[in-house]
Amino acid sequence: MTGSPPRENKPCVGDTIGLQFHVSDTELGRIKTVRLPLFAKSGKPIWITSSSYPDADVAVVPLVSPLYQDCKIIYISAGWAKGDLKVRPTTNVALIGYPYGFYDTRNALPIWKTGSVASEPEVDFDGKPLFLVDVSAFPGMSGSPVFGVSPHGVYESKDGAIKMGANLKTFLGIYASMQIVRRKKYLEEMAFGDRLGIVNNESLEIGHVWKARLILETVANIGNVREHQEAILESLL
């Protein structure tokens, strides 16, 4: 909601979020657009963050049924994280998002980007509940769901067997950001003066993905769902 890490405690950028829902699953151009306030009239935010790892830049916004009434909803459930696909470094992944805000505006459909797992998925990278992916991603992809995929229908199961499965997808987590390296490039060097130069930010094309377990824990720990529903309904009045 701020575009910055939670620990920086910066003010929110904007106070609403735009949502698009498909009214029909055959005529994709039929869209219901909703602008949802992020704060109740009391000033309380309607979103939830992780209580187990507050530094995670992940927010969950509960939705109440009046927002998507008569719409066609397809959602990621907890069962999507329990797939039989063995995930290891180099496993194929797909991210679904909006690079630089680019998407199919006529049908309100996002863009699929592909890559691969770039760290040990069972290990919390740097002690954080995340793993890395090797992918060419851009601003606008933050918040993208990440799936382990088997594009050719043949995959390794968790027990090591080789199996067949068309369109196999396992929810792995939420893409957050790209690893950036800051490098100083010096313009000149004087014998008795400061070295003058510029700082160049370079992308490693290595992305951070908050693990599915963190997302599911956050959703499960919403707490008083009625309180948040009331806050959302209040904000809509």
Q: What is the pLDDT of residues 95-110, one digit of tens each?
A: 999 999 999 999 999 9
List all residues 6 or more positions away from 34 whose beta carbon is below 8 Å from its beta carbon.
18, 19, 20, 21, 67, 68
Q: What is the pLDDT of residue 190?
A: 46
**71 or 229, higher pLDDT:** 71
Q: What is the pLDDT of residue 98?
A: 95
Interior CA angle at 163 toward 145 and 80, to 5°?
25
List all residues 6 or more positions away from 225 whose beta carbon is below 8 Å from its beta carbon.
62
Closest to 209 measured CA to CA, from 178, 181, 173: 173
Q: What is the pLDDT of residue 33?
A: 93
Structure tokens at 134: 């090797």
pLDDT tens across 182-228, in order?
A: 666 555 544 455 555 555 566 678 999 999 999 999 998 776 555 66
3-class DSSP state of 166: coil
Structure tokens at 10: 């910066």
Distance CA 97, CA 103 (A): 8
pLDDT tens across 12-66, in order?
A: 777 888 999 999 999 999 999 999 888 887 888 888 889 899 999 998 988 888 8
CATH topology for 6-236? Thrombin, subunit H (2.40.10)
